[in-house]
């Protein structure tokens, strides 16, 4: 943990300890994620702004708090305090200019606004009148539906999706009468159950549905027999988590598309070791940018140097620094793959998984 994060965390310990014992673990995780999200640009001395990934992360935190039944005032008090303490620590740091502090204060405000949106879309969705198709979808997703009465298809492609578009999901765009498609949606996410006799057909139909969603939408698809839809729901959610952590572009993904990332993220001890390895370079924006460029170039150093608009010798020097800090040689294909996986684990560790805000499903 960096100095800034450690200082903020020490100030928040008392707040967490005053919570009921049943909520301390959840509060610990939320505060850790909030601090990581708020401190990211400060530690790398950049102003990347709030991209889709950060918006998704903040809204996810709000979704989770609402689903867990935390009163909104309590959520805002805890995470608002985390923002206040982060501002206070940064203001006390030598060399922090007024402009930088003002920009960071706005970052904290943006974080709370997105958190609030995530919380509200869950609670609002919970009280909106639902159709019988919605009720069927929720019952299947929870494993509570009677599947032996011929009312449902024999198998479904379960699509879990999350969008961070400013526009809410248009439910009418997903309605296709007579196709047997079931949906359980809220403002910016949800599930779609698509009847499909095999995985290929299911993915094809889900890809078509994904195209009707807002542009900035990540979706995970899992094809399952009807009795195993709850397992499909969990797998589809994990696929979206892995895709976001790996910085994949918005799209429609199967487990096989993110298999390595999924394997790492479901093995917490392995993920923690990888995060520790790559964490030193995440504090150096230039080195982080260099590693990402090399990964995008699939290890081709000349192509990465051209993309970064730097001399090849400059790139080689940066790669040497990466090896010194991590112990992995990025010029080795095998070790470059390890660094790529470590970056994925780091993204997942510092951002919550994508929300699926549907009642308490």
pLDDT in tens, the chain (361 residues): 457 778 888 888 888 888 888 788 778 877 887 887 777 766 655 555 667 777 877 887 787 777 677 888 888 888 888 888 888 888 888 877 787 778 778 888 888 888 888 787 765 444 444 557 778 888 888 888 877 767 889 999 999 888 777 666 777 767 665 678 888 887 678 889 999 989 899 999 999 889 888 888 889 999 999 989 988 988 888 888 778 777 788 899 998 888 777 776 667 677 778 788 888 888 888 998 999 899 888 899 999 999 899 999 999 999 999 999 999 999 998 888 888 888 877 776 666 554 454 444 4
- H/E run at residue 25: helix 21-44
Domain count, the chain: 3
Asked if residue 358 is part of any domain, the answer here is no
Classify 267 in phi/psi space as left (phi over 0), alpha (psi -120 to 50) or beta: beta
* Domain region containing 38: 3-127
Nearest 5 degrees, angle CA 353-CA 70-CA 143? 60
Span between the terminal Cα atoms of the chain, in Å: 34
- 110 and 136 inside one domain: no
> Do residues 339 and 330 make contact, with C-beta atoms less than 8 angstroms apart?
yes
Cα separation, 344 vs 92, whole angstroms: 32
- 229 and 303 inside one domain: no
Cα separation, 241 vs 207, whole angstroms: 18
- 244 and 144 inside one domain: yes
CATH number of the domain within which 282 lies: 1.10.10.2840
> Do residues 167 and 214 make contact, with C-beta atoms less than 8 angstroms apart?
yes
Asked if residue 361 is part of any domain, the answer here is no
- 229 and 312 inside one domain: no
Answer with the one of 127, 146, 172 that is the final residue of a domain.
Answer: 127
- 77 and 175 inside one domain: no
- 240 and 294 inside one domain: no
- 170 and 256 inside one domain: yes
What proportions of the chain, in percent to the nearest 5, are helix, strand and coil? 65, 10, 25
Cα separation, 111 vs 299, whole angstroms: 35
Answer with the one of 264, 293, 327 that is the final residue of a domain.
Answer: 264
Pairing of strands 217-225, 182-186: unpaired
Asked if residue 357 is part of any domain, the answer here is no
- 212 and 225 inside one domain: yes
Instruction: Judge if pTM exceeds 0.95.
Output: no
């Amino acid at each position: 943990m960096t100095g800034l994060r450690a200082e903020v965390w020490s100030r928040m310990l008392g707040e967490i300890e005053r919570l009921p014992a049943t909520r301390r673990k959840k509060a610990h995780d939320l505060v850790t994620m909030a601090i990581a999200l708020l401190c990211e640009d400060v530690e790398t001395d950049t102003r990347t702004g709030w991209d889709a990934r950060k918006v998704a992360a903040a809204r996810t935190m709000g979704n989770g708090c609402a689903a867990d039944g935390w009163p909104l005032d309590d959520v805002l008090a805890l995470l608002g305090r985390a923002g206040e303490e982060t501002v206070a620590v940064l203001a006390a740091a030598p060399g922090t200019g007024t402009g930088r502090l003002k920009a960071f204060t706005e970052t904290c405000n943006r974080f709370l606004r997105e958190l609030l949106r995530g919380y509200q879309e869950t609670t609002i969705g919970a009280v909106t009148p639902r159709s019988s198709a919605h009720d069927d979808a929720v019952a299947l997703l929870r494993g509570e539906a009677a599947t032996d009465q011929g009312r449902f298809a024999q198998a479904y492609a379960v699509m879990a999706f999350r969008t961070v578009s400013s526009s809410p999901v248009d439910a009418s765009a997903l309605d296709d009468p007579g196709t047997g498609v079931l949906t359980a949606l809220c403002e910016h996410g949800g599930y779609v159950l698509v009847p499909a006799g095999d995985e290929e057909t299911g993915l094809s139909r889900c890809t078509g549905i994904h195209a009707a969603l807002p542009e900035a939408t990540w979706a995970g698809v899992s094809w399952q027999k009807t009795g195993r839809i709850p397992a499909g729901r969990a797998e589809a959610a994990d696929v979206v988590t892995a895709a976001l952590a790996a910085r994949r572009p918005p799209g429609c993904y199967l487990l096989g598309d993110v298999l390595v990332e999924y394997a790492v993220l479901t093995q917490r001890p392995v993920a923690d070791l990888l995060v520790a390895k790559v964490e030193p370079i995440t504090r150096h924006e230039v080195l982080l940018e260099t590693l990402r460029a090399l990964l995008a170039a699939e290890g081709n150093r000349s192509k990465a140097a051209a993309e970064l608009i730097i001399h090849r010798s400059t790139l080689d020097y940066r790669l040497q620094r990466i090896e010194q800090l991590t112990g992995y040689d990025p010029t080795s294909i095998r070790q470059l793959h390890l660094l790529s996986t470590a970056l994925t684990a780091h993204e997942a560790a510092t951002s919550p998984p994508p929300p699926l805000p549907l009642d308490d499903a």
